[in-house]
C-alpha cells in the first residue's frame, strides 16, 4: 500500500495517534509533531522519506496543500469530540447557557448542527481563511460576547496574552481513526493507479508505433521510445514544445477540433526526417471533459525502389514534383479541409481524382500528395490529355507496340517510366475511350495489352487525375467510361474556387500584390475601394487570372496610390465583354450601357468632356462623376 505520513501540531495528539496505530496494527511511514512555520518544509521531508499521502490538521494542512503535489488528508474533529470540548468549557465556566466561540480552519470541523440545543449553549463559529486572521477573529469573538474561546495553537497564544478563557482544540482517537481511514482509501487508489500506469508504460514503450501524448494546449507531455526513434530526439528535447513545432505539417486546426470534442478522430500523413508517417489522433476523455490527445504514428513503407542510376536519369528528365502544401497560398476553411483530405488520401496507393475550376490549385495539390506519400522518391510524370492527340495517347501511356518486342530499346510508356512514382493525368476528360479502357485494366486488374496479348504485370504507379468538369455528366453522355469514373472518383478532392470565397479573396489578392511589389521593387498603396473592385469581379480563371491581373496592376500603375477607378479601368480593358450590337458581335469594354455610351462619345470627341456633356445633355461636373464611377477616368486622363 502507498505510504502514509502523519504530521501533527501537538504531542498530546501524537500520543492518541500512537494508541490508534497500536490497536489497529497499522504502520505509517512518517509520524511526527511539527511547527506551523515549518509545515511545508516538513511535508517535503516526509515525501523524500517515502510518504505518498499526508495527514495534517487545520492551518498546517492548508500550508502543506499549497506546496506539495501529493494528496493531503484533513484531520477533522468528529461531532462527538466537539461536544466533549463544549462540556469541558461549560464545566470550566460554570454557567447555565454560556456563549462559546470556536475559531479555526473550516477543514478542521465536522457537523456542528444542533449542538446549541443539545448542550444548552450559544455557539459562535469563526472560520479562518488566512494566516493573518486569528488575532482579528479573537477580537471579534470577545466583542460579540464570548465567554470562552476554543481554538488551535495560535488562537490560544493570543487568548493567553489577553488573559481570556480558552481551550485548545484537541483531536483525539476518533479524529485519527477517520483520517487514517480516508488516507488508506486514497493509498489504495494510488496503488491501483501505479499498476495501471506500469501496464500502460509497458505498452507505451514496447509499441511498434510512435506514441505521443499532448495536453489541451497542444503541448507534448510524453513520448515513447519508438517516437524518440522516429523524431531522432530524446523525450526531454520535445516535451513541453507545441506539437506543430515537432511534427511539422500537422494540422493545428484539426488537433484543436479534436481537443474541443468537435470530432472523434484525426488522421493524416506527414513527412518527418524524410520518413513517411501515417498519423492517427484520438482525444483523451476520462469523463465528460477532454484534457488532451494521443497521437499515434507509424512508418509507411514504399512499394520498392527503382535502380539508383535510373532514378537519377528520371529526375534529370524533369520528372519531379516541385510543390508542396506550403505553396498553397489560400488559407480559407474550405481550402484547409481540402488539404486535410488530401493528406488523408496520401498514404493510399489508390487513384485520386481532383476536380476544380480552371486556375485552382489542382496541380499543386497533386504534387503535394506525391511529395507526402510513399512514392515521394519516385518520378512524377505529368501527362496532359488535351495536349497530346488521341492517337498518340496510348503510346505515351503504355509504350510503343510497333517496335520489335525483342528489342531492348523499345520506347517505354509512362507506366514504365513512372515505376514507384506518380502519373498525373491532367484534363482526364479528354483522354480517348481506348485509353480509358486500357487505363481501367491497368489500374484495377493490373493487366496490360502487349502485341494484342493481355499480360498481368505488377506496375506500382500512383495515378492522380485532374478535371474541371463533372465526369459523371460525361458518363451519361457516353464520353467517359463508368467503370473508370467510379475507380477514379472514390478518392475525390473538390478544390474550392476563388470566386466562391469572396470573404477571403482579398487576402489572396494582397499576397499576390505583395509578391509583385517585391519582385519589381515598386511599393505602392492599394486602397480598400480598389480591393473591393477586385472582390466584385467574377474571377473565372481563379488563381491564374487573379495572380496575372495583380502583376499587371503593379506593372502599369503610374501613381503611388492605386485607387478603385484605376483597377476598374484595368479590368474593363483586360477583360472586355462581347455583345451583339446591330446584328454583329462586338467587344464591349464596359458592362454598364451608360458607360458604353460615354466611352463611345469620348472616343468620338477625342476626350473633349465639354462636347460629350453637351451631347448627353448633362453638366461637365455630372459627366466627370460618372466617368469616375464607371472607371473610365484613367483611360482619358481624368
Q: Do 311 and 379 form a contact (C-beta atoms < 8 A)?
A: yes
Q: Give the CATH number for residue 340.
A: 3.40.50.300
The CATH number of the domain holding residue 40 is: 3.40.50.2300
Q: Is residue 618 domain-resident?
A: yes
The residues pairing with 447 across neighbouring beta strands, listed in sequence order, are 456
Average pLDDT over residues 334-350: 88
Question: Which of 236, 265, 299 delimits the end of a domain?
Answer: 299
> CA-to-CA distance for 117 and 557, rounded, in angstroms?
93
Query: Is residue 501 pLDDT above 80, yes or no?
Result: no
Could you tell me how far CA 425 lies from the centroid of its own chain? Answer: 33
Q: How are the residues of the chain apportioned to helix, strand and coil, as percentages rounded to the nearest 5?
A: 45, 20, 35
**pLDDT of 435 above 60:** yes
Is residue 368 in a domain? yes
Distances (CA, A) of 432 to 302, 435, 444: 31, 5, 18
11: which 3 cell numbers? Answer: 504531542
- 602 and 532 part of one domain: yes
Question: Is residue 425 one of the residues assigned to a domain?
Answer: yes
CA distances for 408 relative to 153, 404, 405, 411, angstroms:
101, 9, 8, 9
Distance CA 190, CA 4 (A): 11
pLDDT score for 577: 60
pLDDT digits (tens, 9 = 90+) for 356-369: 998 889 999 999 99
Question: Which CATH number goes with the domain that contains 124?
Answer: 3.40.50.10660
Q: Are residues 444 and 480 in the same domain?
A: yes
Q: Are residues 65 and 142 in the same domain?
A: no
Please identify, among 280, 299, 318, the residue that sits at the C-terminal boundary of a domain. 299
Are residue 153 and residue 226 in the same domain, yes or no? no
159/138 Cα distance (integer angstroms): 7
Q: How many domains does the chain have?
A: 5
- Whether 109 and 240 share a structural domain: no
Distances (CA, A) of 514 to 30, 198, 224, 530: 69, 56, 44, 15
Provide the residue range defining the domain that includes 467. Answer: 308-494
Q: Half-sphere exposure of residue 207, counting CA atoms within 13 Å on the CB side?
A: 22
> Last residue of some domain: 55, 75, 95?
75
Choice among 343-347, 349-353, 451-455 with the minimum mean pLDDT: 451-455
Q: What is the pLDDT of residue 593?
A: 63
Predicted confidence (pLDDT) at residue 325 exceeds the cutoff of 70 = yes
Residues 450 and 585 placed together within one structural domain of the fold: no
pLDDT given at position 407: 46
pLDDT in tens, 595-607: 667 777 777 787 7
Q: Is residue 506 part of a domain?
A: no
Flag whether 439 is in a domain: yes
Name residue, grid cell 479524529: 175
User: For residue 403, what pLDDT is reported?
Assistant: 52
What percent of the chain stands above pLDDT 70?
A: 88
CA distance 119 to 115: 6
Pick 525 or 615 by higher pLDDT.
525
Q: What is the pLDDT of residue 416?
A: 85
Q: Which of 498-502, 520-524, 586-590, 606-610 has the highest mean pLDDT?
A: 520-524
Q: Tell me the backbone φ, ψ of residue 340, rounded to 5 degrees.
A: -65, -40
Reported as type and span, the H/E element at residue 281 is strand 275-283
Residue 181 has pLDDT above 70, yes or no: yes
What is the per-residue pLDDT across 43-54, written as a single tens digit (0 to 9) for each? 999 999 999 999
What pLDDT sits at residue 33? 92
Answer whether residue 466 is part of any domain: yes
Do 321 and 448 reside in the same domain of the chain?
yes
> Which distant-in-sequence residues (6+ apart) come within 8 Å of 37 by Cβ?
none
- What's the first-to-final CA gap in the chain, in angstroms? 91
| Contact indicator for 421, 370 with CB cutoff of 8 Å | yes
Prediction pTM value: 0.56
In this structure, the answer to whether residues 290 and 313 fall within a common structural domain is no
Q: Does residue 318 have a pLDDT over 90? A: no
**CATH number of 257's domain:** 3.30.450.20
User: Sorting pLDDT into bands at 50, 70 and 90, what band is 591?
Assistant: low
Q: Which residues pair with 492 in a beta bridge?
A: 353
Both 436 and 364 in one domain: the answer is yes
Does residue 177 lie in a domain region? Answer: no
pLDDT confidence of residue 384: 92
What is the model's pLDDT at position 199? Answer: 61
Mean pLDDT of the chain: 84
**Span 268-308, pLDDT tens digits:** 878 888 777 888 888 888 767 788 888 988 877 655 555 55
Contacts (Cβ under 8 Å, ≥6 apart) of 123: 86, 100, 101, 102, 112, 115, 116
pLDDT of residue 584: 46
- Whether 76 shows a pLDDT value over 80: the answer reads yes
Classify residue 288: in a domain, yes or no. Answer: yes
Q: What is the mean pLDDT of residues 118-137?
A: 90
Give the contacts of 403 (CB within 8 A, at least 6 positions apart). 409, 410, 411
**Residue 259's closest CA among 218, 312, 210?**
218
Quick one: what percent of the chain has pLDDT higher than 90?
Answer: 30
Judged against a pLDDT cut of 70, whether residue 311 lies above it is answered with: no
Looking at per-residue pLDDT, the higher value among 299 and 138 belongs to 138
The reply to whether 137 and 13 lie within a common domain is: no
The pLDDT of residue 633: 54
Quick one: 562 and 580 in the same domain? yes
Same domain, 109 and 159: yes
Amino acid at each position: 500500500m502507498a505510504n502514509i505520513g502523519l504530521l501533527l501540531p501537538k504531542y498530546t495528539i501524537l500520543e492518541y495517534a500512537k494508541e490508534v496505530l497500536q490497536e489497529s496494527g497499522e504502520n505509517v511511514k512518517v509520524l511526527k509533531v511539527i511547527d506551523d512555520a515549518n509545515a511545508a518544509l516538513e511535508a517535503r521531508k516526509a515525501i523524500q522519506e517515502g510518504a505518498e499521502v499526508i495527514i495534517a490538521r487545520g492551518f498546517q494542512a492548508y500550508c502543506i496543500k499549497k506546496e506539495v503535489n501529493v494528496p493531503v488528508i484533513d484531520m477533522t474533529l468528529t461531532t462527538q469530540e466537539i461536544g466533549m470540548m463544549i462540556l469541558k468549557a461549560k464545566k470550566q465556566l460554570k454557567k447555565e447557557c454560556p456563549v462559546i466561540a470556536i475559531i479555526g480552519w473550516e477543514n478542521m470541523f465536522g457537523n456542528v448542527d444542533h449542538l446549541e440545543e443539545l448542550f444548552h449553549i450559544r455557539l459562535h463559529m469563526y472560520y479562518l481563511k488566512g494566516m493573518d486572521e486569528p488575532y482579528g477573529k479573537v477580537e471579534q469573538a470577545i466583542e460579540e460576547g464570548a465567554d470562552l474561546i476554543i481554538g488551535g495553537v495560535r488562537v490560544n497564544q493570543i487568548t493567553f496574552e489577553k488573559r481570556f478563557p480558552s481551550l485548545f482544540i484537541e483531536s483525539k482517537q476518533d479524529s485519527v481513526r477517520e483520517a487514517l481511514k480516508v488516507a488508506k482509501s486514497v493509498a489504495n487508489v494510488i496503488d491501483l493507479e501505479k499498476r495501471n500506469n506500469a501496464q500502460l508504460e509497458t505498452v507505451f514503450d514496447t509499441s511498434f508505433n510512435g506514441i505521443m501524448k499532448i495536453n489541451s494546449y497542444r503541448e507534448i507531455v510524453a513520448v515513447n521510445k519508438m517516437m524518440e526513434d522516429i523524431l531522432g530526439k530524446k523525450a526531454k528535447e520535445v516535451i513541453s514544445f507545441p506539437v506543430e513545432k515537432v511534427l511539422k505539417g500537422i494540422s493545428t486546426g484539426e488537433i484543436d477540433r479534436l481537443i474541443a470534442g468537435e470530432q472523434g478522430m484525426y488522421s493524416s500523413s506527414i513527412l518527418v526526417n524524410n520518413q513517411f508517417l501515417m498519423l492517427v489522433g484520438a482525444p483523451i476523455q476520462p469523463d465528460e471533459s477532454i484534457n488532451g490527445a494521443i497521437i499515434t504514428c507509424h512508418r509507411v513503407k514504399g512499394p520498392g525502389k527503382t535502380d539508383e542510376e535510373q532514378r537519377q536519369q528520371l529526375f534529370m528528365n524533369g520528372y519531379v514534383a516541385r510543390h508542396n502544401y506550403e505553396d498553397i497560398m489560400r488559407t480559407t476553411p474550405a481550402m484547409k479541409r481540402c488539404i486535410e483530405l488530401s493528406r488523408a488520401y496520401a498514404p493510399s496507393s489508390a487513384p485520386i481524382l481532383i476536380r476544380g475550376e480552371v486556375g485552382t490549385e489542382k496541380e499543386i495539390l497533386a504534387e503535394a500528395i506525391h511529395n507526402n506519400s510513399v512514392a515521394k522518391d519516385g518520378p512524377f510524370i505529368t501527362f496532359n490529355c488535351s495536349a497530346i492527340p488521341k492517337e498518340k495517347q496510348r503510346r505515351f501511356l503504355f509504350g510503343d507496340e510497333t517496335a520489335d518486342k525483342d528489342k531492348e530499346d523499345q520506347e517505354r510508356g509512362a507506366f514504365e517510366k513512372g515505376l514507384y512514382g506518380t502519373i498525373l493525368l491532367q484534363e482526364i476528360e479528354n483522354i480517348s475511350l481506348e485509353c480509358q479502357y486500357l487505363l481501367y485494366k491497368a489500374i484495377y486488374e493490373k493487366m496490360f495489352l502487349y502485341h494484342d496479348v493481355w499480360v498481368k504485370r505488377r506496375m506500382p504507379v500512383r495515378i492522380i487525375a485532374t478535371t474541371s468538369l463533372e465526369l459523371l455528366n460525361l458518363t451519361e453522355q457516353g464520353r467517359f467510361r463508368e467503370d473508370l469514373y467510379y475507380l477514379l472518383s472514390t478518392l475525390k478532392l473538390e478544390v474550392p474556387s476563388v470566386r466562391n470565397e469572396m470573404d477571403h479573396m482579398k487576402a489572396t489578392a494582397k499576397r499576390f500584390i505583395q509578391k509583385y511589389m517585391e519582385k519589381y521593387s515598386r511599393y505602392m498603396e492599394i486602397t480598400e475601394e480598389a480591393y473591393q473592385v477586385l472582390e466584385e469581379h467574377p474571377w473565372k480563371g481563379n488563381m491564374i487570372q487573379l495572380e496575372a491581373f495583380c502583376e499587371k496592376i503593379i506593372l502599369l500603375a503610374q501613381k503611388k496610390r492605386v485607387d478603385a477607378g484605376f483597377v476598374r479601368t484595368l479590368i474593363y480593358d483586360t477583360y472586355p465583354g462581347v455583345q451583339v450590337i446591330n446584328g454583329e458581335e462586338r467587344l464591349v469594354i464596359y458592362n454598364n450601357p451608360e458607360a458604353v455610351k460615354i466611352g463611345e462619345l469620348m472616343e468620338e470627341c477625342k476626350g473633349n468632356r465639354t462636347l460629350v456633356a453637351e451631347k448627353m445633355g448633362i453638366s461637365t461636373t455630372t459627366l466627370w462623376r460618372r466617368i469616375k464611377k464607371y472607371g473610365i477616368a484613367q483611360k482619358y486622363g481624368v
